[in-house]
Amino acid sequence: MFSLLTHIGRFTLDLVLGMGAMFLFLLSAVALAFRRPAKIRLIIYHIKTIGVDSLSVVVLSGFFTGMVMGFQGYYSLRKFNAESWLGSVTALGLLRELGPVLSAFMVTGRTGSAMAAELGTMRATEQIDALYAMAINPVKYLVSPRIIASLIAMPLLTAIFDVVGIYGAYLIGVGLLGVSSGSYFSGMENSIIFHDVYSGFVKSLSFGLIITWVCCYKGFHAPPMATGVSRATTESVVLSFILVLVWDYFLTSVMQ
């Protein structure tokens, strides 16, 4: 019994310490992002790695998600003779939920894991120590530009996901299943309000922050060995997914 309590106590302490360390890491990265000199070239480079390099998977997943929504939406709405609402249902689903969440998942898989692996390898090969030794703050050099880049790239990727998804659903609903093109777009126009776009934007922004924060933290603190890097990569992806979903629930509940 005493041993069990010891284990629970140790686990809780480790958890709290870990969360505190993660939070301090984020605070320091955000604070350093505002300190001069601004790393403009690095930010642009990371916008490319996070944004441009993830574009193909985001477009592909957005397109197929939209097509699936076209089918599912059509057959569900047909039961109530409400096929004309297909555009509205698709756009609302994509703008509010699926766009931000699925593009966050795609970016985590495509770029977040690479971030964790890259920083983990840099830790293992003493490149992070070398930065400290050269009196260069590695958090400012490696993490802050990635955070700024993700805050710029994620909303853009999400917007692209939404547009491609809406087009995918249009192709299925209008092109294949015979929904009127006019009702598809007018339904969308009538039901979408600024708040829907805004909540999607806020979600994508915060998901970008979560992904970069978690993946950079895990890579930065990876044990300096091959298994350490692989574990950090796996943990960063899993934790990012979980935090994105939990934060999505929280935001959805407060932004209704």
**Binding site residues, another protein, CB under 8 A:** 122, 125-127, 129-130, 132-137, 141
Q: How far is the CB of 41 from another protein (least distance, A)?
A: 11
Closer CB to another protein, 132 or 250, in the complex: 132
Q: How far is the CB of 168 from another protein (least distance, A)?
A: 36
Closer CB to another protein, 30 or 171, in the complex: 30
Closer CB to another protein, 14 or 126, in the complex: 126
**Helix 194-220 vs helix 226-254: crossing angle, to nearest 10:** 160
Closer CB to another protein, 163 or 224, in the complex: 224
Q: How far is the CB of 132 from another protein (least distance, A)?
A: 6
* CA-CA-CA-CA torsion sign (52, 219, 25, 130): negative
Q: How far is the CB of 141 from another protein (least distance, A)?
A: 8
Torsion of CA 196, 202, 204, 206, to 10 degrees: -150
How far, in Å, are 96, 123, 135 from residue 72 at the CA level? Answer: 18, 47, 57
Sequence-ordered list of residues with C-beta below 8 angstroms from that of 154, at least 6 positions apart, any chain: 50, 103, 104, 107, 204, 205, 207, 208, 211
